[in-house]
Chains A and B, each alone.
Chain A
């Protein structure tokens, strides 16, 4: 399974964010896209998930035009209906995704995977901390095992233990999915990914992680204005 991007271009007014971008992501790898703030990481994700129309190009999943139903998108700001409790939301989510093997009777075990205390199960989501909301959102997306998993700035708002647990969860599903995460923190990219790709001047550039000067290379690419 592979995700192929061909000649993707996207601009906002006279600002060209993605310029004839070509790249192929393969299943079984975790890709980390590094880029400066405003380099177009979120725009690229929005194009892949069809949440934003692009000006030119094509995105294929296994040689077919990608369908947004194949994409799971974990947002930087957690998107959850805050009038529900965590338990209610997971139950509702499991009901909807029965076809993907989710079961409302397993909600307790889902919570255990993200280290929620039992007291928190029945609290309203609006009273959760941002880290808790992030964990819940990421769990929901991971549970649906999407073919393509996009993670926009994940782990940054999680504490050390939560980040380690989420990393384990991501590694569990790595073999069955194309996983792409965006970050501007090099350490996160190094820790979790198999391949680091730099987004600069609207294009994706591969970086060889085995090269001992690869950090220097990244800096040079990003500073090359």
Chain B
């Protein structure tokens, strides 16, 4: 089975190795080596070593991200997420394309596949169960719960799979499995928060392990497990389709489109203005709904604070602190809605991908013309939240005599981030064009940008109290727009291309 899996899985890796000049020189791999079965078999011996290093590295990166995130989030929230990941990422009973081939083409027995996967995932689980609790304990500077954490992660991994086996007869096991799973995690957290001796919980976990093992052992018929596996395999194509749908649904056009109005629109607009108007009017769920909802939230929050100021309900609270909280919350809201990115995905998938196949659409002037129209629309989308912000800032300054410099910083920050989140993805889109048609393989630059934005959204924001923040933000924004527009004008004929 190892050989078959190796053939299935590592051809692409070998191919990559061969194509990499440095690696091929070091290992003296010749161009036709990937056809050499013996060499493949030899390399297979080293694969687990690479795999272990990769797992450790991966978990260290995750740990780093969690540590960065924990500056703002609570420690127990992190612990909660870790336990969730432990259970939901457990996949011995899951399936993939290779498993399907092993089953259907090579008729490998279920038991062999199960144990094979179990062994392969052992190292992965071990590193996860060790590195995360250790990192977490270092973070909260408390090693008292370390053994409990390690055991509980292993337990949740075991629970995720054993419970599937125990309730295999149920039609929709998720209804029972997931609420129970989350309840267990909550119990663990309550134990930690209330400082109850976690070893009481370990007793319960141990009882579950013993009982479930007995029950599973009693189900001697291997076919039962085979059935579960086959059930998964049958839904494999559907699963893949549902994953694809996730990407495409995100960019789908509105359902209630009425093309009958189009003649009047055609009379009113021409060329790219016509195209853009029709695009936006048929993708309102992507830009209009989030804009409406976020503006309503913004309005409600500002009204509440205005009410609190009016009734003098916050006499001892620092005004600067309120501004910091409001700005942070607003930035988080913009990040969560992600309208800018969803819009460029829709631009690409529903229009640009197709039109970039035409020569006219790749002309420098045409690209630039359309970019400016889209940039203008990005500004228009920002007008409503900025106006709401302006009105309330003025009310707070004039009516409630709030400090001018702090309120000005607040207004400019909100305006800056509203514009930034709307236009930045547009620049990234034109300069890097990070997507393929199915939107599932974005270029690395977008991932980096996503991580940086994520870190920025969650970290502390001391700069909100800087004296000259308003001027700095205005200068940055103007320079950024000018520079990006110049870059778009000069480089997009080479960068703005379709990818399959």
Which A residues are closer than 8 A to B by beta carbons? Answer: 13-14, 49, 68-73, 75, 79-85, 87-88, 91-92, 95-97, 104, 122-124, 126, 140-141, 144, 146
Contacts and interface: CB of A to CB of B under 8 A. Distances in A.
Contact of B279 (A68, A83, A126): A83
Contacts of B19: 13
Contacts of B2: none
B259 A92 contact: no
A202 to B, nearest CB: 19
Given A73-B359, A79-B357, A82-B354, 12 more contacts: A13-B15, A14-B32, A68-B359, A81-B350, A81-B354, A81-B355, A82-B350, A83-B257, A84-B278, A95-B271, A124-B259, A146-B359
B144 interface: no
A72 B358 CA distance: 7
A83 B262 contact: no
Contacts of B366: 96
Nearest to B265: A88
Contacts of A140: 358
Given A81-B354, A81-B355, A122 B260 contact: yes
Contacts, number: 77
B397 interface: no
B21 interface: no
A95 B270 contact: yes
Given A75-B357, A92-B275, A122 B350 contact: no
Given A75-B357, A96-B360, A81 B351 contact: yes
A112 B107 CA distance: 58
B362 interface: yes
A193 B350 CA distance: 35
7 contacts: A13-B15, A68-B362, A69-B359, A69-B360, A83-B253, A95-B270, A122-B263
A151 to B, nearest CB: 14
A86 to B, nearest CB: 10
Interface residues of B, number: 33
A122 B262 contact: yes
A193 B381 CA distance: 53
A79 B262 contact: no
B31 A91 contact: no
B266 A79 contact: no
B358 A79 contact: yes
Nearest to B271: A95
Given A69-B363, A96-B366, A87 B262 contact: yes
Q: Specify which of B259, B274, B282, B350 lies most central, judged by the most chain A CB atoms within 10 Å of its CB.
A: B259
Contacts of A97: 360
A150 to B, nearest CB: 11
Interface in B280-332: 282-283
Contact of B283 (A83, A91, A144): A83
Contacts of B31: 14
Contacts of B358: 79, 140-141
A90 to B, nearest CB: 10
Contacts of A70: 359
A71 B359 contact: yes
B18 to A, nearest CB: 9
A75 B355 CA distance: 12
Interface string B8-25: 000000010001000000
A85 B262 contact: yes
Contacts of A82: 253, 350, 354
Listed from nearest, the 3 A-B pairs whose CB atoms lie closest are: A95-B271, A79-B357, A79-B354
A139 to B, nearest CB: 13
Contacts of B282: 83
A79 B278 contact: no
Interface in B125-157: none
Contacts of A146: 359
Contacts of B271: 92, 95-96
Contacts of A122: 259-260, 262-263
Interface string B78-114: 0000000000000000000000000000000000000
Given A83-B278, A83-B283, A88-B266, A124 B257 contact: yes
A56 B374 CA distance: 39
Interface string B361-380: 01100100000000000000
Contacts of A92: 271, 274-275
Given A14-B31, A85-B259, A96-B366, A80 B354 contact: yes
Nearest to B274: A92
